[in-house]
Amino acid sequence: MRSRIFSGLAVLAAIALTGPVLAVGQAQAAPAAGTVEASAPAGFVGMAPTRVLDTRNSYWNASGVDGPLSPGENYRAQLLDVAGRAHGQGVPVVPSDATAVVVNVTVADATDNGYLTLTADPNAPGVTPATSSISFAPRQTVANLVTVAITPGTVPAINVYNNGSYTHVVLDVVGYYRPGATDKYGAVTPTRLVDSRADGHWIEQGGVRSVQVAKPELGTADARAVVLNVTATDGTGDTFLTVYPTGRQRPEWGSNLNVKPGGTVPNQVVVPVGQDGKVDVFNHIGSQNVVIDIVGFYGPSGQGLFSALKVPVRLADTRPNLYEGRPSQELAPFSTLQVPTGAGAPAGALAAEVNVTATAPSESGHFTVFPSNTTRPDTSNLNFVPWQTVSNSVTAGLNGDSFSVYNHAGWTHAIADLTGYFTVAK
C-alpha cells in the first residue's frame, strides 16, 4: 500500500582518509531522556542477500506496483521473497520474532536531489522523518546498509520515506536480529585488510578476490559473519561489487556497491564468513581497486546484543539552524568532532549503529569514525568529493558513551543519526 505525503526538500551527505588533528569539537545535539524506544536485545543471524523490493520490476514488489517512488511518499515495503511468485504471495524472509532487519538499500534513476529514510512500519501518518538513511543526486545509483526495527508477530515490513524526487528503490535483506540468536557482536580495532592500490591486485572484469577475515590476531577466529567497510575506487567501468561467503554460489540478485568509472564509493557490508574464514569480492565490469577495512564481527565469542530504535534519532548536525539558534560547527581540515549518544543509548553501551553523512565538502576527503579519546585508526568510513552529499552506515565503537568523527581534508558538514546500539550480553 502506498500513502502519499509531501513535504519540502531537504538533502544530506558523507567520505574519509588521515592526517594530524588540529581541533576537537563536540556535537550539540542529543536525544532527551525518555524519548527513545528500542527493541529488546537480540543476537544476529546472517543470510545471503535476498531481494524484497525493486520498483523497476513489479515481480520484485509484493504490492505489484511498478514505478518509482514519488516525492514525499511513504511506501510500506513487506519483507517477502516474491521472486517467481504471485504478488502478495511471497514468503517472509525473516522469522516472526525478529526485532530488526539489516537491509542494503539502493537508489537508482532519481530525477533530482533527495534522500530516503527507512523506519519501522508503520510510519506516523503525515510526519516527516527527522533523520535520513541515504542521500542521492540526479541519475545516480548509490547504496547504503541500513538497520531497521520491525514489529515482531506481524507480517514483517518497514517504511520507506522518499524526500526529494521520483526515484527507484531496491531493497536486499542481508540479515536480521532475533532474541535467542547465538551470534553476538564483537568489536575489533578497525583494521585495513586489503588495499589493492598498494598491492597491485585489483579485481578484473568478472573477477573475484578472496579476503581472509577470520584471524586469531584480530580476535575474529570464530566469526560467523563480519562487518566490513568496503570502498571501490579508481575503476574503469560502470560496475557493481558483490561480497559473499567463499565457497558458496554468488547471489544471483544483490549487490553491495555501485560505482562509476573513476569514482570512489564506500559502503558498510555485513556478510557471513565462508570456507577457511574468507569472503569473496566480485567485480562486474572493468578493472576495480578495492579498499577493505574490518570493523567488527558476529560469533559465539562476541559480547554485544543489538537493540534497534523504533524511530532513529539525530545525534549531530554541524549545519547552522537559525530557528534553533544553532551556529555552524563545520569541520575544519584534520579536525575531530566528538559525538555523545546522550539518551539515545544506555550508559556503557558497547557500540552504536549510526548513519553518518558528509555534506557540502570543499575538497575531496574522508571521515574516520572511532571511539572517542582513543588512538585514531588508519582506516576510513566514507569518502567524498567537493559539494557532494554522501552517507554511509557505521558501526561505531563507544568510549565514555561517545564516538568521534575525524575529517581528513577540506571543510565539510557532518550529520550523525543513531539507528540502534549494542549492549554487553548478561
| Grid coordinates given for 312 | 532513529
| Grid coordinates given for 225 | 559473519
In terms of pLDDT, which residue wins out, 121 or 271?
271
* pLDDT confidence bin for 129, thresholds 50/70/90: confident
Average pLDDT over residues 105-130: 85
3-state secondary structure of 10: coil
Beta-bridged to residue 339, according to DSSP, are 403
Fill in the DSSP letter of residue 375: P
Burial tier of 208 (Cβ tally within 10 Å: 0-12, 13-18, 19+) = middle
The pLDDT tens digits for 365-405 are 999 999 999 999 999 999 999 998 999 999 999 999 999 99
In angstroms, what is the C-alpha Rg of the chain?
20
**Do the Cβ atoms of 119 and 147 come closer than 8 Å?**
no
How far CA 380 is from CA of 189, 319, 339, 408, in Å, comes to 13, 22, 17, 9
- Neighbour order of strands in the sheet with 335-340: 24-26, 335-340, 402-407, 365-371, 382-384
In terms of pLDDT, which residue wins out, 154 or 242?
242
* pLDDT confidence bin for 425, thresholds 50/70/90: confident
The pLDDT tens digits for 156-171 are 999 999 998 999 999 9
| Residue 290, pLDDT score | 97
Say whether pLDDT at 1 is over 80: no
**Do the Cβ atoms of 273 and 224 come closer than 8 Å?**
yes
Query: What string of DSSP letters covers 57-75?
Result: -GGGBTT---SPBPTTEEE
* Nearest to 294, CA basis, from 264, 268, 325, 332: 268
3-state secondary structure of 297: strand
Average pLDDT over residues 265-287: 95
| Residue 12, pLDDT score | 27
* Nearest to 296, CA basis, from 409, 397, 217: 397
Query: What string of DSSP letters covers 108-132?
Result: ES-SSSEEEEEEESSPPTTPPPSS-
Q: Report the mean per-residue pLDDT for the chain.
A: 87
| Residue 80, pLDDT score | 87
| Residue 102, pLDDT score | 97
- Tell me the one-letter amino acid at 186: G
Q: What percent of the chain has pLDDT over 70?
A: 87
**Do the Cβ atoms of 14 and 367 come closer than 8 Å?**
yes
Cα separation, 191 vs 147, in Å, equals 23
* pLDDT confidence bin for 2, thresholds 50/70/90: very low
Fill in the DSSP letter of residue 38: B
Fill in the DSSP letter of residue 202: P
Query: H/E element holding 198?
Result: helix 196-199
Q: Which of 18-32, 52-66, 171-185, 230-244 has the lowest mean pLDDT?
A: 18-32
Cα separation, 370 vs 367, in Å, equals 10
Query: What string of DSSP letters covers 174-196?
Result: EEEEETT-SBEEEEEEEEEEEEH
Average pLDDT over residues 5-31: 36
The pLDDT tens digits for 316-331 are 999 987 777 778 899 9
| Residue 154, pLDDT score | 79
**Do the Cβ atoms of 171 and 104 come closer than 8 Å?**
yes
